[in-house]
């Protein structure tokens, strides 16, 4: 059995099957008063199957993902490439034709510079020998002096150890050496493994700076050992001055930890990033108008920005293009569900979240019009089903979606209480039911935020399975006679 499936706590399957069929009956009966009850269910199943099959035989997503990654490449906020990607995507959506709006958003503009690290002293070092380490600056890191910063490395495994060694930290370089739990990822909980380990990247440098550290390093957050550093955002407290902060490759974190166990280790660090003035950017919004309730929306989305080290094929080219492809499938089949399906290509997910904040501010006062929100941002693995942040009672209503996806092996319907995507989180907090394709993410964090996040990591058939999942789900939600009950996520 697939380990992901074995580990999922809330598999719908037999328990929800019977109730799901009933819920499906109720859902479509209201839509077709004359026809016998059994027929609408069969009709609904036939439409969902056509959507699935169209998605599984379409090359639109693969071609547009290739265009995005080959012709534009990395898309960090503030860059010309991100603006070019917005225009490329807006043009593609207009030509479907969908109704396209660019929602203006000001975004942070952080630029990577020279980055180098060298071990210049350690126990047993032969005279004159130094060792080069593989690292990369974290977004919003400050710069060292051009000649670099040389200091002792204090290795800690967690925040408790940092606090216990607070006297050693001042003026030195802290290395957070927390390991990524690949076994957790192997068991279907890659997101949990990422969050558990990622807290040191998000909050470690700030905690080290608060104790007077000169700089902070984190062991890369990722499950594979290719001596690749994994970048990502780090956060500073309000009014806190940033310090130089970088991610070390896992192998180099091990090396430093081994040497430091034997005695003092000194490291020379050069990081020369710059923070420029905020730049113009925007969310790409494309509406496929609903036939009965065009002012009610089902959002299907991914983020268009990426880190600067690679072409962002899996994070989140797959998600943003896969979501856009939902509208292409409906156009192909000439299907217009009751509500509007709104595609959003979010800006600035990676280092600020300004895109989702701007969108939420624009709909906050008419939040009832936002009936459901889907985000795909969990990598390029094949679809295993659907994650749903909905009320317990709602789960059975969704059974026809899983029935339609079953032939793809996407058989899991899993209820979640938390956010299912950073960009839809504000909507979920306001009560909008949230969804994500549940994908095989066991190896997502091998390449995540590294220079190896490139198109070759995407399997076209897996991408199609994600499009099929989102297209079936989005159509089903947009066609429901009444929106799903509201569900506010907890922390
Ligand atoms: Zn992402």
Of 435, 331, 459, 378, nearest to 55 by C-alpha is 331
- Give residue 292 CA to ligand 1 midpoint distance, Å: 34
- Give residue 315 CA to ligand 1 midpoint distance, Å: 5
Instruction: Say which residue, 168 or 17, is predicted with more confidence.
Output: 168
Q: Which of 115, 296, 328, 349 is catalytic?
A: 349
pLDDT tens track for 207-217? 999 999 999 99
- Give residue 491 CA to ligand 1 midpoint distance, Å: 20
Asked about 349 being catalytic, the answer comes back as yes
- Give residue 316 CA to ligand 1 midpoint distance, Å: 5
How large is the average pLDDT for residues 99-103? 98
- Give residue 305 CA to ligand 1 midpoint distance, Å: 8
- Give residue 377 CA to ligand 1 midpoint distance, Å: 5
Low-confidence winner among 6-10, 290-294, 405-409 (lowest mean pLDDT): 6-10
pLDDT tens track for 321-373? 999 999 999 999 999 999 999 999 999 999 999 999 999 999 999 999 999 99
Instruction: Identify the band that residue 18 occupies on the pLDDT scale cut at 50, 70 and 90.
Output: very low
């Amino acid at each position: 059995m697939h380990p992901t499936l074995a580990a999922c706590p809330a598999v719908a399957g037999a328990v929800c099957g019977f109730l799901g069929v009933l819920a499906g009956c109720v859902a479509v009966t209201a839509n077709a008063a004359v026809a016998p009850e059994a027929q609408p269910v069969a009709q609904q199943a036939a439409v969902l199957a056509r959507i699935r099959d169209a998605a599984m035989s379409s090359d639109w997503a693969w071609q547009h993902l290739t265009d995005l990654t080959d012709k534009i490449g990395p898309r960090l906020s503030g860059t010309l490439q991100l603006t070019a990607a917005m225009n490329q995507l807006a043009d593609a959506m207009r030509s479907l034709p969908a109704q396209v709006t660019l929602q203006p958003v000001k975004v942070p503009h952080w630029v990577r510079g020279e980055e180098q690290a060298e071990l210049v002293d350690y126990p047993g070092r032969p005279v004159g020998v130094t060792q080069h380490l593989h690292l990369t600056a974290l977004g919003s890191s400050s710069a060292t002096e051009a000649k670099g910063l040389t200091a002792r490395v204090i290795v800690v495994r967690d925040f408790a150890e940092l606090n216990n060694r607070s006297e050693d930290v001042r003026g030195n370089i802290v290395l957070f050496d927390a390991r990524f739990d690949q076994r957790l990822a192997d068991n279907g909980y890659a997101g949990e493994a990422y969050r558990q380990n990622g807290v040191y990247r998000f909050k470690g440098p700030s905690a080290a700076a608060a104790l007077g550290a000169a700089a902070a390093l984190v062991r890369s957050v990722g499950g594979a050992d290719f001596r690749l550093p994994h970048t990502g955002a780090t956060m500073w407290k309000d009014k806190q001055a940033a310090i130089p902060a970088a991610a070390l490759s896992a192998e180099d974190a091990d090396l430093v930890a081994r040497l430091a166990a034997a005695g003092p280790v000194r490291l020379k660090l050069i990081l020369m990033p710059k923070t420029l003035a905020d730049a113009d950017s925007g969310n790409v919004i494309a509406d496929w108008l609903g036939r009965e309730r065009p002012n009610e929306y089902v959002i299907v989305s991914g983020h268009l920005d990426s880190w600067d080290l690679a072409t962002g094929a899996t994070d989140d080219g797959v998600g943003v293009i896969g979501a856009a492809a939902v509208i292409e499938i409906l156009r192909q089949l000439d299907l217009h569900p009751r509500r509007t399906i709104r595609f959003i290509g979010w800006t600035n997910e990676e280092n600020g979240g300004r895109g989702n904040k701007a969108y939420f501010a624009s709909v906050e006062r008419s939040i009832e019009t936002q009936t459901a929100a889907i985000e795909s941002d969990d990598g390029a693995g094949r679809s295993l089903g659907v994650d749903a942040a909905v009320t317990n009672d709602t789960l059975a209503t969704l059974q026809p979606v899983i029935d339609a996806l079953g032939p793809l092996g996407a058989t899991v319907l899993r209820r979640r209480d938390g956010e299912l995507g950073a960009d839809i989180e504000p909507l979920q907090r306001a009560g909008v039911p949230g969804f994500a394709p549940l994908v095989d993410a066991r190896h997502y964090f091998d390449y995540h935020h590294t220079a190896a996040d490139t198109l070759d990591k995407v399997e076209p058939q897996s991408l199609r399975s994600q499009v099929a999942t989102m297209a079936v789900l989005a159509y089903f939600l947009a066609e429901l006679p009444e929106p799903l009950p509201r569900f506010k996520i907890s922390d």
